[in-house]
Chains A and B, each alone.
Chain A
Amino acid sequence: MLLEVKGLETTFFTNDGKIPAVDHIDFKVYEGEILGIVGESGCGKSVTSLSIMGLVPNPPGKITSGEILLEGKDLTKLSEKEMRKIRGKDIAMIFQEPMTSLNPLYTIGNQLIEAIRIHNKWDKKKAANHAIEMMKLVGLRRAEELMKEYPHQLSGGMRQRVMIAMALACNPKLVIADEPTTALDVTIQAQIMKLMQDLNKKFNSAVLLITHDLGVVAEICERVIVMYSGQIVEEAPVMEIFKNPSHPYTRGLIQSVPDMREKKETLYSIPGAVPKPGSIKVGCRFAPRCEFARERCFNENPPIYDVSANHKARCFLLEKGEGTVYDKRAVES
Chain B
Amino acid sequence: MAETATKDMNVQVVEDKVTSPWKEALRTFLRSKSAVAGTVIVLFFILVALFAPIIAPEGINEQKLGDPSTHLVPPSSEFWFGTDEFGRDIFSRVVWGAQISLTVGFGAVVLSAVLGSFLGIIAGYYGRWVDTIISRFFDILLAFPSILLAIAIVSILGSSLQNALIAIAIVNVPNFGRLIRSKVLSVKEEEYITAAKAIGMKDSRILLRHILPNSFAPVIVQGTLAIATAIIEAAALSFLGLGAEPPQPEWGKMLADARIYLMNAPWTMIFPGLAIMLTVLGFNLMGDGLRDALDPKMKN
Chain A residues proximal to chain B, CB less than 8 Å = 53, 55, 59, 84-89, 92-93, 95-97, 100-105, 114-115, 118-119, 150, 152-153, 163, 166
- Tell me, rounded to whole Å, the shortest Cβ–Cβ distance linking B186 to chain A: 12
Chain B hits for A105, CB < 8 A: 21, 213-214
* Interface contact A100-B192, CB-CB below 8 Å: yes
* Interface contact A92-B198, CB-CB below 8 Å: yes
* Interface contact B200-A84, CB-CB below 8 Å: yes
* Interface contact A87-B197, CB-CB below 8 Å: yes
Report the Cα distance A53→B198, complex, angstroms: 7
Q: With contacts A87-B200, A115-B199, A118-B199 known, is A100 near B21, CB below 8 A?
A: no
* Interface contact A103-B214, CB-CB below 8 Å: yes
Q: With contacts A103-B214, A104-B214, A105-B214 known, is A88 near B21, CB below 8 A?
A: no
* Interface contact A101-B200, CB-CB below 8 Å: no
- Tell me, rounded to whole Å, the shortest Cβ–Cβ distance linking B113 to chain A: 19
Name B198's contact: one of A59, A87, A100, A103 (CB within 8 Å): A87
* Interface contact A97-B19, CB-CB below 8 Å: no
* Interface contact B200-A86, CB-CB below 8 Å: yes
Report the Cα distance A103→B201, complex, angstroms: 14
> Which residues between 143 and 196 of chain B lie within 8 Å of chain A, taking CB atoms?
190-192, 194-196
- Tell me, rounded to whole Å, the shortest Cβ–Cβ distance linking A12 to chain B: 15
Report the Cα distance A85→B198, complex, angstroms: 10
Q: With contacts A102-B192, A152-B19 known, is A55 near B200, CB below 8 A?
A: no
Report the Cα distance A109→B276, complex, angstroms: 47
Residue among B127, B198, B200, B202 facing the most chain A CB atoms (10 A cut-off): B198
Closest to A116 in B: B199
- A-B contact sample (7 more), CB < 8 A, given A93-B195, A101-B195, A114-B201: A55-B194, A55-B197, A84-B201, A97-B191, A105-B21, A105-B214, A166-B195
Report the Cα distance A93→B200, complex, angstroms: 11
Q: With contacts A59-B128, A103-B214, A150-B20 known, is A92 near B199, CB below 8 A?
A: yes
* Interface contact B21-A150, CB-CB below 8 Å: yes
Name B21's contact: one of A53, A92, A104, A119 (CB within 8 Å): A104
* Interface contact B195-A118, CB-CB below 8 Å: no
Q: With contacts A85-B200, A118-B199, A119-B200 known, is A95 near B194, CB below 8 A?
A: yes
Can you offer 15 A-B residue contacts whose CB atoms are under 8 A?
A: A53-B197, A55-B197, A59-B127, A86-B200, A87-B199, A93-B198, A95-B195, A101-B192, A104-B21, A104-B214, A118-B201, A119-B200, A152-B19, A152-B21, A166-B195
* Interface contact A103-B192, CB-CB below 8 Å: yes
Closest to B187 in A: A103
Name A163's contact: one of B21, B128, B195, B214 (CB within 8 Å): B195
Report the Cα distance A85→B201, complex, angstroms: 9
Report the Cα distance A103→B199, complex, angstroms: 13
* Interface contact A95-B191, CB-CB below 8 Å: yes
* Interface contact B19-A153, CB-CB below 8 Å: yes
Residue among B192, B197, B200 facing the most chain A CB atoms (10 A cut-off): B200
Closest to A99 in B: B191
Name A55's contact: one of B19, B20, B128, B198 (CB within 8 Å): B198
Chain B hits for A95, CB < 8 A: 191, 194-195, 198
Closest to B211 in A: A103
Closest to A97 in B: B191
- Tell me, rounded to whole Å, the shortest Cβ–Cβ distance linking B261 to chain A: 54
**Does B71 lie at the interface of the complex (its beta carbon under 8 Å from any beta carbon of A)?**
no
Report the Cα distance A44→B35, complex, angstroms: 50
Closest to B199 in A: A88
Chain B hits for A119, CB < 8 A: 200
- Tell me, rounded to whole Å, the shortest Cβ–Cβ distance linking B121 to chain A: 16
- Tell me, rounded to whole Å, the shortest Cβ–Cβ distance linking A185 to chain B: 19
Report the Cα distance A153→B15, complex, angstroms: 13
Chain A hits for B190, CB < 8 A: 100
- Tell me, rounded to whole Å, the shortest Cβ–Cβ distance linking A309 to chain B: 35
- Tell me, rounded to whole Å, the shortest Cβ–Cβ distance linking B26 to chain A: 14
* Interface contact A150-B19, CB-CB below 8 Å: yes
Report the Cα distance A100→B195, complex, angstroms: 10
Chain A hits for B201, CB < 8 A: 84, 88, 114, 118
Q: Across the A-B interface, give the 3 residue pairs with the lowest CB-CB distance, nearest first.
A: A88-B199, A88-B200, A87-B200
Closest to B213 in A: A105
Q: With contacts A101-B192, A102-B192 known, is A118 near B19, CB below 8 A?
A: no
Chain B hits for A88, CB < 8 A: 198-201
Report the Cα distance A102→B196, complex, angstroms: 9
Chain B hits for A104, CB < 8 A: 21, 192, 214
Closest to B190 in A: A100
* Interface contact B214-A89, CB-CB below 8 Å: no
Chain B hits for A97, CB < 8 A: 191
Q: With contacts A55-B194, A59-B128, A95-B194 known, is A103 near B210, CB below 8 A?
A: yes
Chain A hits for B198, CB < 8 A: 53, 55, 87-88, 92-93, 95
Name B195's contact: one of A86, A102, A152 (CB within 8 Å): A102
Chain B hits for A86, CB < 8 A: 200
* Interface contact A89-B200, CB-CB below 8 Å: yes
Chain A hits for B200, CB < 8 A: 84-89, 118-119
Closest to A102 in B: B192
* Interface contact A166-B210, CB-CB below 8 Å: no
- Tell me, rounded to whole Å, the shortest Cβ–Cβ distance linking B23 to chain A: 10
- Tell me, rounded to whole Å, the shortest Cβ–Cβ distance linking B90 to chain A: 47
Chain A hits for B19, CB < 8 A: 150, 152-153
- Tell me, rounded to whole Å, the shortest Cβ–Cβ distance linking A293 to chain B: 38
Closest to B193 in A: A103
Name B199's contact: one of A96, A100, A166 (CB within 8 Å): A166
Report the Cα distance A102→B202, complex, angstroms: 17
Report the Cα distance A271→B176, complex, angstroms: 51
* Interface contact A84-B191, CB-CB below 8 Å: no
